């Protein structure tokens, strides 16, 4: 699989193998984090589709995960300007990944947006060229949860971005993910249903280059 090494952000989040996290038994986990372009993902989307289907196998009955199919959503996103997928490997095994792209001025991302009290819906939902990096997906394989995979991956995904802010959607029942985002500076600004039949999702934003 072709990869583009991620820019160095710290000793544990580089595109080259890094030894860290020595668990019981004395084994040094080797982490590798890589950035992939849209062309690289589209050349071989199968690993990312398999990972998504594995992570959400117990929730496959929900429209959130199958309508439209993840493969179609990934293909759409990977063809957008500003796309980046950041993959985190632990000892050569895919632990998780996240991806997103730059929202265009005309986008359906904010359709049906219901702001929280005190939030200016007109401002939040207004897009201009280069304003928002849309974080479309962030997932971690079950065996690697609680090991800081998201904390390693997301800063690299958004490192060096030129957008003013990032935006993401978290299912209203996913309180665990919501807590992680809120603890890391994201702000809950309202709610939206991304696609017909989906659960309501919390809309979050994070300032990048205000």
Domains of the chain: 4-207 (3.40.630.30)
Rg (CA), the chain: 17
pLDDT at 135: 98
pLDDT at 22: 38
pTM attached to this predicted model:
0.86
Indicate the length of the chain as a whole number: 210
pLDDT at 46 over 50: yes
Cα 149–Cα 32–Cα 164 angle in degrees, nearest 5: 65
Task: Decide: residue 46, CB within 10 A, 0-12 exposed, 13-18 middle, 19+ buried.
Answer: exposed
Please compute the mean of the pLDDT values over residues 45-68 and round it to a whole number: 86
Tens of pLDDT, residue by residue over 75-107, are 999 999 999 999 999 999 999 999 999 999 999
Tens of pLDDT, residue by residue over 115-163, are 999 999 999 999 999 999 999 999 999 999 999 999 999 999 999 999 9
Of residues 23 and 104, more confidently modeled: 104
Tens of pLDDT, residue by residue over 172-208, are 988 989 999 999 999 999 999 877 777 889 999 999 9
pLDDT at 17 over 80: no
pLDDT at 108: 92
Of residues 57 and 118, more confidently modeled: 118
pLDDT at 55: 92
Reduce the secondary structure of the chain to three states and give it as a string: CCCEECCCCCCCCCCCCEEECCCCCCCCEEEEEEEECHHHHHHCCHHHHHHHHHHCHHHCCCHHHHCCEHHHHHHHHHCCCCCEEEEEEECCEEEEEEEEEECCCCCCCCCCCEECCCCCHHHHCCCCCCCEEEEEEEEECHHHCCCCHHHHHHHHHHCCCCCCEEEEEEECCCHHHHHHHHHCCCEEEEEECCCCCCCCEEEEEEECCC
Q: How far is CA 107 from the centre of its chain?
A: 18
pLDDT at 195: 77
pLDDT at 13 over 50: no
């Amino acid at each position: 699989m072709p990869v583009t090494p991620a820019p160095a952000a710290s000793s544990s989040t580089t595109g080259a193998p890094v030894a860290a996290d020595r668990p019981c038994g004395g084994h040094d986990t080797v982490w590798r984090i890589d950035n992939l372009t849209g062309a690289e993902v589209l050349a071989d989307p199968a690993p990312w589709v398999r990972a998504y289907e594995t992570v959400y196998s117990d929730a496959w009955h929900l429209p959130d995960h199958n309508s439209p199919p993840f493969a179609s959503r990934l293909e759409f996103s990977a063809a957008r300007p500003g796309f980046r997928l950041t993959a985190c490997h632990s000892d050569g095994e895919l632990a998780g990944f996240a991806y997103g792209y730059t929202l265009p001025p005309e986008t359906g991302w904010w359709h049906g947006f219901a702001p929280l009290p005190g939030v200016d819906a007109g401002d939040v939902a207004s897009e201009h060229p280069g304003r928002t990096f849309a974080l479309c997906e962030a997932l971690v394989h079950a065996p690697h949860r609680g090991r800081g995979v998201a904390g390693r991956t997301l800063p690299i995904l958004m490192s060096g971005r030129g957008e003013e802010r990032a935006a993401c959607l978290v299912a209203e029942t996913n309180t665990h993910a919501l807590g992680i985002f809120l603890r890391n500076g994201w702000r809950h600004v309202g709610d939206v249903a991304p696609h017909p039949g989906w659960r309501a999702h919390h809309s979050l934003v994070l300032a990048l280059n205000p």
